[in-house]
Amino acid sequence: MKSVRFHASPVLAIKLPAWRSRAVVFLLFLAFLALIARAVYLQGFTTDFLQTQGEMRYARTLEMPATRGKIVDRNGVILASSVPAAAVWANPKEVKASPKQLIDLAKLLDLPSAELKKKLSRTDTSFIYLKRQVPQVIANQIQKLEIAGIDLRKEYIRTYPEGEAMAHVVGFTNVEDTGQEGVELGWQKDLAGQTGSRRVIRDRLGRIVEDVADISSPRDGKDLSLSIDGKIQYLAYSQLKAALEKQKAKAGAMIVLDVQTGEILALANLPTYNPNDRHDLTGAQLRNRVLTDTYEPGSTLKPFTISLALEKGVVKPETVIQTAPGKLTIGSATISDSHAHGPLSVGDIIKVSSNIGTAKIAMQMQPQQMWDMFSSVGLGQAPKLGFPGAVAGRLRPYKNWRPIEQATMSYGYGLSVSLLQIARAYTTFARNGDMIPLTFFKTNGAPALGVRVVSSKTAAEMRNMLEAATGPEGTAPQAQVMGYRVAGKTGTARKLVGGSYAQNKYVGSFVGFAPVSNPRIVVAVMIDEPSNGVYYGGLVAAPVFSAVVAGTLRLMNVEPDAPIKSLIVPTEPVQESF
C-alpha cells in the first residue's frame, strides 16, 4: 500500500466551523468555573459540615460516668458502693472475627453462641449492647481478643455487702445505675452525680489512639451517712427471722428509733431479698412493710385514747370503770373483753387491755377530740421522710363516725396505720409528751425540735401504766428485759379479708420503749398471720421486742436501771381483748 503522511491525512484537511471550537472552549471554561465555585463553596462555606463528616469516621465522644456515692451506716460501715465494670457493645457492620474468637467471646460473656451470632448479624443498627455490667477481669480478657467492631464502655456495678439484712433500707439500682428502691431511689439525685464526656480518635479496630479533649469532667455522687446502725439492724433482722420461723408467720416487720434524736437505728422486713442477686423477685419480697403496709393497730392504740382522757380531765389513773359483765352493747353491735374483769382502774384497763373499759372512757369524749389526738401523733398523714412509698394510713373524718365506730377506734379498729407511724407516736410517751420528726440520716447527736402532744404529767402517768402492762399481771411479761425497765403495749387484731374480719388470720404486735427511767429507744414489732397455734401480740411479738431491746441497749452502752436478776414470767400471760 502507498504510505500517506499523517499531516497530509484527508481528515485533517476538513475545516470545521469556527463557532464549534468557540463553543467547546466556552463549555470547558464553564466546567472549570463550576469546579472553582464548588471548591470555594466546600472550603469556604461548609467547612464545619465537612469537618463533622470527617470526624464521624474516626472521632468519638465517650461518656465518662460519674462514680455513684457510697451509702454507709452511722459507724462508717459500707452498705452500698460501686465497683468498676464494663459494658460490651458492638457495631455489627464492622465486626470481623474468626469462629474461634466468637466462641471465646460467647464464653466470656456467658451467652449462647447462637444468641451472640444473632446479635452480631443485625444490619439495622451500628450500636448494640452485647452485655452490661461485665466484671473488669472479664472485660480485660475480652479486650485481649482484639476483635474489630467490639468495644467496651466504662460503667459500674453496685454492690451491697450487708445483703438481705439491709435490703429494704438501701434498696438497689438498675443496669443504668438508677435507684429503684429504698435509699437508692429516694436520694437518687444526691447519689448519682453528673456524667462527663471526652473526645477521642479511634483506629479501625476501635482502639483509642489519641485523646482530643475533655468536654466536661464527671462529678461524682455524694456519699450518704445513714442513721442505721449495722449491728442493731442485723440484730433486728435475725430476731425477726427467728420469730417468723418459730410462729410460721406470713411476714413480719420491725423498727428501732432513737428517742432523743429521732434517728431510725434499724428497719427490718421479712420476706426479704438479696440486692446483689435479684432474679425471680416477687412483690412480697420487695415490700417495705414498715413504711408501705398498713394494718389495724388494735390495742396498741389504747394508750392514746387513755392519755387524751387524762389530758381532758375525764379520768385519773386511779378512776375505776365497771367492765362487767364483759360485754357492752352500743346500738345493734356488741363489744367484749377476752373475759370479764369487773371493776378496773384506768391503769388496770391498760395493764389487762380491756376493750370495754377503753370504749366507756372514749364515749365520754367528743369524736373531734379523739380525731385531733390521733392526728397530732401523725396518724392519717404520710411521714415526711423522703423515703419512697411511705403511706398515710386511714383515719376517716370524725364527722362521719357512728357511736360504735368511735368505740372501736378507741381500741384500734376502724383505722389503719403503718408500723413506722405507731412507733413514732409512742415517742410521745418516751419523751415527756412531745414528738419529734424521724430521719434516716445521722444527726451527730443534734437535738431535734419536738411538738407538744400531751403534758409531761400525762406522759409520766402513761409510762407507769405501760410499764405495768409488761409486768407479771399484764399482757406482755415476755417483753421484760433483764437489767432494764421496759414499757409498752401489745396489740392483736383480726385481719380484714374481702371486707370482713377473718376468724383465723391475725396481726400480733408490740410497741414499747426502754429504759423507763430515761427512755433511749422505741421498738415496734409486727408479726403477720402467725399460724403455729398462738397469735396474741404478747406471745408472738413481745419476745422479739425483749431480745432486740436487750441487745440494742448494750450496744449503745446504756446503763441498766433495774436489778439484774432472773425474770419470773408466767407461762400464760393475761390474754388481751381484741
Cα dihedral: 155, 86, 210, 221 (round 10) = 10
β 500-514/224-225 pair status? unpaired
Q: How confident is the model at residue 29 (pLDDT cuts 50, 70, 90)?
A: confident
Helices (H) and strands (E) in the chain, counts: 20, 19
Beta bridge partners of 134: 86
Widest CA span in the chain:
154
Residue 98 and residue 140 in one domain = yes
- Min mean pLDDT across 204-208, 335-339, 561-565 is at 204-208
Domain boundary among 187, 204, 225: 225
- Which residue in the block uniquely carries the three cell numbers 411476714? 251
Question: Does some domain include residue 29?
Answer: no
* Structural domain boundaries enclosing 106: 61-225
Look at 548 and 11; give whichever has higher pLDDT. Answer: 548
Confidence of residue 209 (pLDDT cuts 50, 70, 90): low
Mean pLDDT, range 465-481, rounded to an integer? 94
CATH number at residue 341: 3.40.710.10
pLDDT at 569 over 60: no
- On the question of pLDDT at 8 being above 80, the answer is no
198 and 125 together in one domain: yes
Does residue 21 lie in a domain region?
A: no
Burial class (CB in 10 A: 0-12, 13-18, 19+), 78: middle
Distance separating alpha carbons of residues 184 and 179, to the nearest angstrom: 4
Q: Kindly state whether residues 158 and 258 are assigned to the same domain.
A: no
* CATH assignment of the domain containing 221: 3.90.1310.10
What are the pLDDT digits (tens) for 79-103? 999 999 999 989 888 888 888 988 9
**pLDDT exceeds 60 at position 206:** no
For residues 545 and 402, state if they share a domain: yes
pTM: 0.84
Q: Which of 81, 82, 299, 546 is catalytic?
A: 299
- Asked if residue 369 has pLDDT above 70, the reply is yes
Buried b (16+ CB within 10 A) or exposed e, 160-187: bebbbbbbbbbbbbeeebebbbbbbbbb
- Based on the domain organization, do 200 and 325 belong to the same domain? no
Residue 154 confidence (pLDDT) above 70: yes
Whether 79 and 162 have beta carbons less than 8 Å apart is answered as: yes
Q: Is 299 an active-site residue? A: yes
Q: Over the stretch 477-516, which tens digit does the pLDDT of each residue have?
A: 999 999 999 999 999 999 988 888 888 899 999 999 999 9
